[in-house]
Amino acid sequence: MPSLATVYEPYFPIGAAVEPQTLLSQGNLLAAQVNSLVAENAMKWERIHPRPGDDPSSYDFTGADAIVEFARAHGMRLRGHTFVWHNQVPPWVFQDSSGQASKTDVLQRMRGHMSALLAHFRGEVYCWDVVNEAVTDTGEWRADSPWFRAAGADDDGDGVPDYIVQAFEHARATAPGVKLFYNDYNIEGGAKLDRVVSLVKALRGRGVVDGVGIQGHWSLYGPGPELVRSAIERLAALDVEVQVTELDLSVYRPGDSSSLAELSPGLAAEQASRYASYFKVFRDEAEARRLTAVTFWGIADDHTWLDSFPVTGRKDWPLLFDTHHRPKSAFRAVAQW
Ligand code: XIL
């Protein structure tokens, strides 16, 4: 069986999101197929910094360190995911004894958290998703994010919520050699892409962003590969790297909550042909030096977040290998063109 990492060597690293337990259940497949990893959950605030305060006893690096070890043992690169996101952050980050914590306190906690992780993973993690999903699908700032509520005011009048700029500036000052990314989904077009473009321009003007992650939680129903191409080109024109950071292709239409009992041969073939079209775009864009990495959100269909999202308990088959780790037709479409 070909190795994706080898086949794509001339183009870009091939990555996968992992959990400490999938390093065990999927370790052989990962070692054979990818040369880059990202922690699916193990570096998120609630896992890595579960307890209030900022001393070593507040942190728990156990799960993340297992991933670092595996990456090092197999000579893989490692992406960092993620510092500032509205999900999977403990409530204490935004509270104090009198209720809502002040903007000053919340930003100080944010900086302390980032400093601790940047120090702990120094030399191991080559890039970080500094801010994740700060924009809504209609292109507004995500005002219901606890970060926005606490520190979303634009006191310096640069058009960007202060917590975003401060996160990037702090990361840059603390770890000048690490690549800093803004990461989001549904940014292939429309008002959301427009907003992300203006955000990246503002951050680029300050010299504090290096890349944009297009998550790539797509489906058999879209987005069209040419739309993806135009998004990559528009972002790359801002003089930043573009990566696809969380690729998977659901077999369900967005908004549809019906479920299938199995992946039919017809759907498997459609999935293969969609994967083929996306990877044709990826190879073209890599040759033009506009796309620098592709990371799948998992490796095989026995472990995918889409089994619990957006419909709890519904089986999905979004990845290149089946639940028994056998290559699907989607794998062949990506590995042999
Ligand atoms: C998901 C994980 O895959 C799940 O295990 C977890 O329960 C929720 O988060 N965008 C992101 C990722 O940036 O961090 C999310 O990961 C999927 C959507």
| Cα–Cα dist 74/77, whole Å | 9
Res. 145: pLDDT tops 90: yes
40, 135, 185, 311: residue to mutate for ligand 1 pocket, most atoms within 8 A of CB: 40
Identify the band that residue 337 occupies on the pLDDT scale cut at 50, 70 and 90. very high
CB atoms inside a 10 Å sphere around CB 225: 18
Reply yes or no on whether 246 is catalytic. Answer: yes
Domain count, the chain: 1
Pairing of strands 211-214, 217-219: unpaired
Res. 128: pLDDT tops 90: yes
Reply yes or no on whether 285 is catalytic. Answer: no
CA 156 – ligand 1 centroid, Å: 32
Percentage of the chain modeled with pLDDT above 90: 100
The pLDDT value recorded for residue 268 is: 98
CA 11 – ligand 1 centroid, Å: 26
Q: Which atom of ligand 1 is nearest to the CA of 19?
A: 5
The pLDDT value recorded for residue 86 is: 98
Q: Whose CA is nearest to atom 3 of ligand 1?
A: 305
Residue 80's domain spans which residues?
Answer: 4-335
Res. 269: pLDDT tops 90: yes
One of 19, 40, 133, 241 is an active-site residue; which one? 133
pLDDT tens per residue, range 158-202 = 999 999 999 999 999 999 999 999 999 999 999 999 999 999 999
| DSSP calls for 83-150 | EE-SSS--GGGGEETTEEPPHHHHHHHHHHHHHHHHHHTTTT--EEEEEE--B-TTSSB-TTSHHHHH
The pLDDT value recorded for residue 203 is: 98
* Averaged pLDDT for residues 147-157: 96
The pLDDT value recorded for residue 54 is: 96
What is the helix (H) or strand (E) element at residue 212, kind and residue range?
A: strand 211-214
Give the three-class secondary structure for 74: coil
The pLDDT value recorded for residue 72 is: 98
Identify the band that residue 98 occupies on the pLDDT scale cut at 50, 70 and 90. confident
* Averaged pLDDT for residues 65-91: 98
The pLDDT value recorded for residue 157 is: 94
User: In this structure, what CATH number is given to the domain that contains residue 22?
Assistant: 3.20.20.80
CA 337 – ligand 1 centroid, Å: 30
pTM above 0.85, yes or no: yes
| Cα–Cα dist 206/204, whole Å | 5
* Angle 86-320-296 from CA coordinates, rounded to 5°: 30
Q: Which residues contact 199 (CB under 8 A, 6 or more apart)?
A: 134, 135, 160, 164, 182
Give the three-class secondary structure for 257: coil
pLDDT tens per residue, range 216-233 = 999 999 999 999 999 999
Average pLDDT, the chain: 98
Ligand 1 site residues (CB inside 6 A) read 40-41, 132, 215, 246, 305
Q: Whose CA is nearest to atom 15 of ligand 1?
A: 40
